Chain A
Amino acid sequence: MPVRYSGIMDEHHAVRRQVGLFDVSHMGEVEVRGPQAFELVDYIATSHISKVVDGQAQYAGLLYAHGGFVDDILVYRVNPQHYFLCVNASNQEKDYEHIAAQNRWECEVDFASERYSQLAIQGPRAAITLQKLTGTDLSTIRYYRFRDGEVDGVPARLARTGYTGEDCFEVFFDPAESEHLWKKVLEAGAEFGIKPCGLGARNTLRLEAGMALYGHEIDASITPIEAGLERNVDMSKEFVGKPACAKQLAEGVTRKLMGFEMTGRGIARDGYEIQVDGAAAGWVTSGSPSPTLNKNIGMCYLPVSAAQLGRTIQVIVRDQPVDAVTVPTPFYKRAK
């Protein structure tokens, strides 16, 4: 996946206004099967897996015992004995090993990345584009639901999931059909202004939508409580990393993830230092111009004492402090 095709701005606006196509085949897949597939998935995933029904997807953290992230994943329940996990490319081997190491339930844990390609069709025209290529009635697939069907004759898993904050579909299918379906979706979307999109737009879109990216907002040293992902943590069950989360929930965290926008002239970038009252206080996890809002935005870790909305902070841009103010996330929310 290249950083850009026609340009990050152009691609970004296409997704917000029309539709964009991303080849996200680099994403990894792990399949868990067996009579006790639920038990294993529920134990490795932080979220409320018991509430997930057939044909539903759920975001979850995959944690180490100390509470830090192994990865963040999407859990798709095919049926009670078959869960399909979509994981980050750079984490897929360690995810697989982590899950296999917790397998006390004799499940089949299958490293399936080589069997799936994935296209993401994202934007207000995503459904109308994909509908031209499938007999599945997409209007009956709600947000974070999926169904198995076909796309232009190719067997495919059609999921209404995404990473852009827009209406969205992600389609999983045989890698042998990658080129065929890439072309077909572009053809189908041509009348709606579809654009092929790269990693650059994927990042600006997910940042505006306030979504975490592994290696930035979350990593092995960060817990879901610090990352503001409590709603994806089910404290009523047992899971790897629960004691660490429980301790932080009881005692409080020392740092929190916050959104900010620049009020001074400058662009925050990943890794830049944050100062509060003239002293080093945190770091930028993701920073970028926001093409939709026409502002420079970012997310950062701040000490709890400074993690209030409306707080003025300074981002150190090439040795100069530049003012920013903390704001709620997501930065962008689509009109329903």
Chain B
Amino acid sequence: MYPDSLRYTKEHEWVRVEGDIAVVGITDHAQKELGDIVYVDLPKVGTTLEAGKSLGSVESVKAVSDIYAPVSGEVVETNGLLVPAPEKLNEDPHGEAWLVKLRLSAPEEATKLMSAADYQKYLGEN
């Protein structure tokens, strides 16, 4: 369910590091909690994000959920698929429906995030 290749946050985001780029998304748990996702608000390319600060938001029929940057960096790409098809976040949150790609400014931040095993343990406890 939760790939070992990703690192996870307590706010239910994930990060996959590819060299100096971090791909960021929300977890399967997050999409399930939200329900039918109908809208995604992402930062502009070039925006500098600080770990723990708002990255954007994801909205379901019922609720608005803020998404926080798991790591710091500059936005180099946003997932254009999600504007016309936000429901992809319900279907493939760990794959096709990533949110943004960041150029890491503090790569060591990613190593402090939870492993898949730790995240699953965290979900079990909360």
Interface residues of A (CB under 8 A from B): 3-4, 7-10, 12, 200, 203-204, 266-267, 269, 288-289, 291, 318
B77 at the interface (CB under 8 A from A): no
Q: Residue of B at shortest CB range from A9?
A: B36
Q: Report A-chain residues with C-beta under 8 Å of the C-beta of B61.
A: 8-9, 12, 200, 204, 288-289, 291
Contacting A at CB under 8 A, from B15-67, are: 35-36, 38-39, 41, 57, 59-62, 64
Q: Residue of A at shortest CB range from B64?
A: A269
Interface of chain B, main secondary structure: strand
Q: Residue of B at shortest CB range from A269?
A: B64
Please determine whether A7 and B39 come into contact, CB atoms closer than 8 angstroms. Answer: no
Q: Report A-chain residues with C-beta under 8 Å of the C-beta of B64.
A: 267, 269
Closest approach, in angstroms, between the C-beta of B114 and any C-beta of chain A?
28
Q: Report B-chain residues with C-beta under 8 Å of the C-beta of A203.
A: 62
Please determine whether A7 and B36 come into contact, CB atoms closer than 8 angstroms. Answer: yes
Q: Report B-chain residues with C-beta under 8 Å of the C-beta of A3.
A: 35, 62
Best-buried of B35, B38, B39, B62 by chain A (most CB within 10 Å): B62
CA gap between A291 and B87 in the complex, in Å = 13
Closest approach, in angstroms, between the C-beta of B50 and any C-beta of chain A?
18
CA gap between A8 and B57 in the complex, in Å = 19
CA gap between A267 and B60 in the complex, in Å = 10
A-B contacts, 10 of them at CB < 8 A, read A3-B62, A8-B35, A8-B36, A266-B39, A267-B38, A267-B39, A267-B59, A289-B39, A289-B59, A318-B57
Please determine whether B39 and A200 come into contact, CB atoms closer than 8 angstroms. Answer: no
Please determine whether B57 and A200 come into contact, CB atoms closer than 8 angstroms. Answer: no
Given contacts A7-B35, A9-B61, 8 further A-B pairs with CB under 8 A are: A4-B35, A4-B62, A8-B62, A10-B36, A200-B62, A204-B61, A266-B39, A291-B61
CA gap between A264 and B89 in the complex, in Å = 22
Q: Report A-chain residues with C-beta under 8 Å of the C-beta of B36.
A: 7-10
CA gap between A97 and B59 in the complex, in Å = 40
Q: Report B-chain residues with C-beta under 8 Å of the C-beta of A7.
A: 35-36
Q: Report B-chain residues with C-beta under 8 Å of the C-beta of A10.
A: 36
Closest approach, in angstroms, between the C-beta of B48 and any C-beta of chain A?
19
Q: Report A-chain residues with C-beta under 8 Å of the C-beta of B59.
A: 267, 289
Closest approach, in angstroms, between the C-beta of A307 and any C-beta of chain B?
27
CA gap between A3 and B63 in the complex, in Å = 11
CA gap between A267 and B39 in the complex, in Å = 8
